[in-house]
Amino acid sequence: MKITLAELAASFDAEIIGDRDREISGVATLQQAGEGELSFFHNRKYKQHLLATKAAVVVISAQDKDLCPVTALVVDDPYYVYAKIAEKFEYKEPAKAGIHPSVVMGENCQIEDHVALAPNVVLGDHVCIGEGTSIAANTTVGSHATLGKHCRVASNVTIYHHCIIGNNVSLHSGAVIGSDGFGNAMHEGAWQKVPQLGRVIIDDDAEIGANTTIDRGALGDTKIGKGAKLDNLIQIGHNVEIGNHTVIAACTGIAGSTKVGNYCMIGGNSSINGHIEIADHTMITGMAMISRSIKEPDIYSSGTGMMTLRVWKKSIARFKQLDKIARRVTALERETRRDHD
């Protein structure tokens, strides 16, 4: 596929500095882009790569356009515009509308127009699938589950019974939606499983990464908000609520009944305690451990930075002595006050 720079500029009301008729045949990084390829620049940390780029065109902001050594497409938000342009070159597995003969379908299913069901898809009873949705091979959808319009469900996804998936939702391979939450009651020396009676509800335009698991609610529902983006290998506990347009990076775990606000950003490998609340617009850096509610939006971190093993061992030894040191300081402060009195 090829598209002229003039056509792209018209789509984004962008200014062109350079050859308007330049044809774009792909996208790449500033370092790797070559003839016919488009890249973007939005962080001055990569200025040296911009100055040396061999890209045909760079998407760039007005404040940085004078730095660009090649043809520039000047826009307000370079990263966003790059993302929209990259969509034009993205390969998407074709999903031809229709139901493959190997599909197993339960009773009283409602399948709207232009739905694509690939080989070995299994649908339980009373499943509803909206117009234009595609479900790839070997995916299972439990009874009474609902998928909205224009969803893209990859292969080997499991959607449990009664779960509700909105419109334009993407579920990547290995995702499990609606498995039992972790609830057990101790009685006479043995654990009694607590039935998980709720659902998972995923709102429109959300994306769930590969091998991410979202537990169904114990009584109420587990909820993923509109436009939320969850990376791969995330665990969402029962009755968790993720706000609209919140993004969560890989390997994060969120314990049950926690509420994460709208427009939050959570770094990878974070651990978030249960039964707490996180305010809208909060940013949590990677590997943080959040043990209590966050009521004021800010950037939050925890843990220790990287250091050599030798220094880390010394630091841990001193950390263990902090309580003793604090007690000694408190005692010294009391003695000092008595002396002044």
- Tell me which residues are annotated as active site: 238
SS3 190: strand
* Residues facing residue 140 across a β-bridge: 122, 158
107 Rama sector, left if φ>0, alpha if ψ -120 to 50, beta otherwise: beta
Backbone angles phi and psi of 178, in degrees to 5: 100, 15
Query: What string of DSSP letters covers 199-234?
Result: -EEE-TT-EE-TT-EEEPPSSS-EEE-TT-EE-SS-
Q: Where are the alpha helices (DSSP H) in the chain?
A: 5-12, 47-52, 78-87, 309-320, 322-340
Under 8 Å between Cβ of 228 and 246? yes
Under 8 Å between Cβ of 319 and 304? no
Q: How many CB atoms lie within 10 A of CB 187?
A: 8
Under 8 Å between Cβ of 59 and 83? no
- Tell me the C-alpha distance between 335 and 341, whole Å: 10
